């Protein structure tokens, strides 16, 4: 690599985002010859100025270049006969905990209530086409957890909580595109994620790990304040050195089970609101100052406003923005309406959607405090249920045009939408509590001020965006990650309140397994 040269450039998108054009540009400048190779090391789009530019870092060399794995090497020894650890949930936290377990000499046993990717796909079709939700297999439950049929945005601010590069390398090793290693806002897309998730599971099984699908944990085995295993819905017992509980933010039965079995849990602030959908063209125009986005990807946005109501301040913010995406029914039961967003790798749908949510604190939950630590969960459930009661059938979602919502008027008609089960015109104020309604209006006003053209009746809000993060924390020791009251229990990932997204959940899975191995090393067994 001694002959390689590094370049930092600021280029027009049509050059920076197209390999052929970039090559021609570098040659034109005399920086690249026919015998040389180049590799993009870093790439970010800067849309802050009137004319959008791309910052790009690249290396030119005499020898072919590739993105080397510096943090991940697959384990090679089978762990079939090694001590078992039990991992509940096959979401990002559970899968990455299992990979880590293998590298630390444990036999991971993953127990997952949902189906594998293929079986799950049929259940998603039933939700979208028939409005029937299988409570064990849906957009939240099944192989890969909530991360499989998601957007696959991999940007995380939690860079200090683990090794982000390692997570990306593992994803690339299992089929993710290499550009996630150098893009500032990496994204995989819902069309590619299922294959990657399956490949990760195959690695786990190939190295001697075990995965049980269609198997729900219904009970914990706790003796003398220590968890030795779990019992499934069919009464099977699975025991191991420790239990990593990575069941996600929608496993309400697990939160209830914790309370029933005396495992300490706490209320955790979360956020709730609606999803807003605009024509993607409109967001492109606003963000790129141009009617044609050309080589640029579908534009996104991220906004926050501090709302004030009755002397209390609460954040209103955009959440999980999906440019060129789809709104999906993320309910885990047939008698509730929950929406979320996803997008394919090309982000080429006609729509831009984003959650717009209000931060919820314990003081906001009047009428729910008798539920103790489950107050937030019950509050969340009550609004999801009200949304379902407001519509006429299935998973049709309540919707209102954006300006109508702000004016407080009924929408006589709705826009077309990416939401497959269909929409029904309902005034959102009849579903949402007043304090959320009012704060959302304040938020939208503020966003309209920041993005001219954002406040329009060509956009509509669709409800309810309620599963933004867990309304519960399962408290654990800061250093050891072991539960504060129950030994050998490692609450993990988003459901336990320690992650918010695919990458942070994956990193937390690795972290919990690492700490478990430090406290209870495999070789001592
Ligand atoms: C539609 C959608 C789009 C999203 N888009 C993005 C995105 O673009 N980027 C991003 O970073 N995040 C996104 N998210 C959020 C992300 O998917 C989650 O943050 C992440 O999956 C959390 O990982 P986890 O492993 O902690 O939990 P989960 O992924 O929720 O996995 C938990 C698993 O536990 C299983 N389980 C639950 N209870 C039991 C039980 N009793 N017994 C056995 N198994 C059980 C569930 O079936 C599930 O598979 C999206 C989520 C959704 C729903």
CATH code, domain with 484: 3.50.50.60
The reply to whether 428 and 513 lie within a common domain is no
113 lines ligand 1 (CB under 6 A): yes
pTM given for the model: 0.96
Domain boundary among 46, 61, 76: 61
Closest Cα to atom 53 of ligand 1: 146
In a domain, 75, yes or no: no
508 lines ligand 1 (CB under 6 A): no
What pLDDT score does 395 carry? 97
Mean confidence (pLDDT) of the chain: 95
In the chain, what is the greatest distance between 2 CA atoms, to the nearest angstrom? Answer: 73
The reply to whether 196 and 273 lie within a common domain is no
pLDDT in tens, 323-362: 999 999 999 999 999 999 999 999 999 999 999 999 999 9
Contact by Cβ (8 Å): 204, 216: no
* HEC letters along 193-247: HHHHHHHHHHHHHHCCCEEECCCCEEEEEEECCEEEEEEECCCCEEECCCEEECC
The reply to whether 482 and 461 lie within a common domain is no
Closest Cα to atom 37 of ligand 1: 247
Kindly tell me if the per-residue pLDDT of 223 is higher than 50: yes
Closest Cα to atom 41 of ligand 1: 217
In a domain, 67, yes or no: no
The reply to whether 374 and 225 lie within a common domain is no
Rounded CA separation 402/459 (Å): 6
The reply to whether 210 and 325 lie within a common domain is no
Which atom in ligand 1 lies closest to the alpha carbon of residue 492?
26
The reply to whether 426 and 339 lie within a common domain is yes
What pLDDT score does 290 carry? 82
CB under 8 Å to 201, separation ≥6 — which residues? 90, 95, 116, 143, 211
Kindly tell me if the per-residue pLDDT of 1 is higher than 60: no
The reply to whether 203 and 89 lie within a common domain is yes
Rounded CA separation 120/139 (Å): 8
CA geometry: angle 192, 198, 199, nearest 5 deg: 90
pLDDT in tens, 167-183: 999 999 999 999 999 99
Domain boundary among 431, 448, 465: 465
- Count of the separate structural domains present in the chain: 3
96 lines ligand 1 (CB under 6 A): no
pLDDT in tens, 238-271: 999 999 999 999 999 999 999 999 999 999 999 9
In a domain, 329, yes or no: yes
In a domain, 501, yes or no: yes
The reply to whether 113 and 143 lie within a common domain is yes
The reply to whether 484 and 363 lie within a common domain is no
In a domain, 77, yes or no: no
In a domain, 205, yes or no: yes
The reply to whether 290 and 179 lie within a common domain is no
By residue range, what is the domain housing residue 32?
A: 5-61
In a domain, 401, yes or no: yes
Per DSSP, 103 falls in state H
In a domain, 69, yes or no: no
The reply to whether 287 and 250 lie within a common domain is no
Which atom in ligand 1 lies closest to the alpha carbon of residue 93?
25
Pairing assessment for the beta strands 351-360 and 312-322 based on DSSP bridges: antiparallel
The reply to whether 246 and 275 lie within a common domain is no
């Amino acid at each position: 690599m001694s002959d390689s040269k590094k370049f930092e450039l600021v280029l027009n998108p049509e050059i920076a985002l197209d390999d052929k054009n970039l090559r021609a540009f570098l040659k034109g400048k005399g920086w690249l010859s026919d015998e040389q190779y180049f590799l993009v090391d870093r790439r970010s789009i800067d849309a802050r100025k009137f004319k959008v530019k791309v910052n790009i870092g690249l290396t030119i060399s005499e020898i072919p270049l590739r993105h080397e794995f510096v943090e991940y090497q697959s384990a090679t020894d089978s762990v079939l006969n090694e001590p078992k650890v039990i991992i509940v949930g096959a979401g990002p936290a559970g899968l990455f905990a299992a990979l880590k377990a293998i590298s630390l000499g444990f036999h991971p046993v993953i127990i997952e209530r949902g189906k594998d990717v293929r079986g799950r796909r049929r259940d998603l079709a039933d939700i979208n086409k028939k409005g029937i939700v299988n409570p064990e297999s849906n957009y939240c439950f099944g192989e890969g957890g909530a991360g499989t049929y998601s957007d696959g945005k991999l940007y995380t601010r939690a860079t200090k909580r683990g090794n982000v590069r390692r997570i990306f390398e593992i994803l690339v090793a299992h089929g993710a595109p290499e550009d996630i290693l150098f893009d500032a806002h990496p994204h995989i897309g819902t069309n590619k994620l299922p294959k990657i998730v399956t490949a990760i599971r195959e690695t786990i099984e190939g190295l001697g790990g075990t995965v049980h699908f269609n198997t729900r944990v219904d009970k914990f085995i706790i003796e003398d304040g220590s968890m030795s295993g779990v019992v499934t819905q069919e009464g099977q017992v699975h025991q191991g050195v420790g239990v990593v509980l990575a069941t996600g933010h929608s496993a309400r039965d697990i939160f209830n089970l914790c309370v029933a079995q005396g495992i300490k849990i706490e209320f955790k602030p979360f956020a709730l609101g609606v999803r807003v959908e605009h024509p993607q063209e409109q967001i492109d125009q606003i963000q790129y100052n141009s009617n044609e986005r050309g080589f640029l990807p579908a534009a996104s946005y991220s906004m926050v406003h501090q709302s004030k109501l009755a002397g209390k301040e609460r954040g209103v913010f955009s959440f999980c923005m999906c440019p060129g995406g789809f709104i999906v029914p993320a309910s885990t039961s047939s008698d509730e309406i929950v929406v979320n967003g996803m997008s394919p790798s090309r982000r080429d749908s006609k729509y831009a959607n984003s959650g717009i949510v209000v931060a919820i604190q314990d003081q906001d939950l009047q009428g729910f405090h008798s539920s103790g630590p489950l107050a937030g969960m019950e509050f969340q459930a009550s609004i999801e249920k009200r949304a379902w009661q407001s519509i006429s059938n299935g998973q049709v979602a309540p919707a209102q045009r954006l300006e109508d919502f702000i004016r407080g008027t009924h929408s006589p008609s709705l826009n077309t939408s990416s939401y497959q089960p269909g929409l029904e015109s309902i005034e959102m104020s009849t579903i949402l509590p007043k304090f959320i309604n009012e704060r959302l209006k304040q938020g939208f006003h503020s966003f309209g001020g920041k993005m001219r053209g954002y406040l329009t009746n060509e956009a509509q809000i669709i409800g309810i965006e309620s599963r933004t993060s867990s309304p519960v924390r399962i408290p654990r020791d800061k250093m050891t990650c072991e539960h504060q009251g129950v030994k050998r229990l490692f609450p993990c990932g988003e459901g336990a309140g320690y992650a918010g997204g695919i990458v942070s959940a994956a990193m937390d899975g690795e972290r919990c397994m690492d700490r478990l191995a430090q406290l209870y090393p495999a070789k001592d067994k």
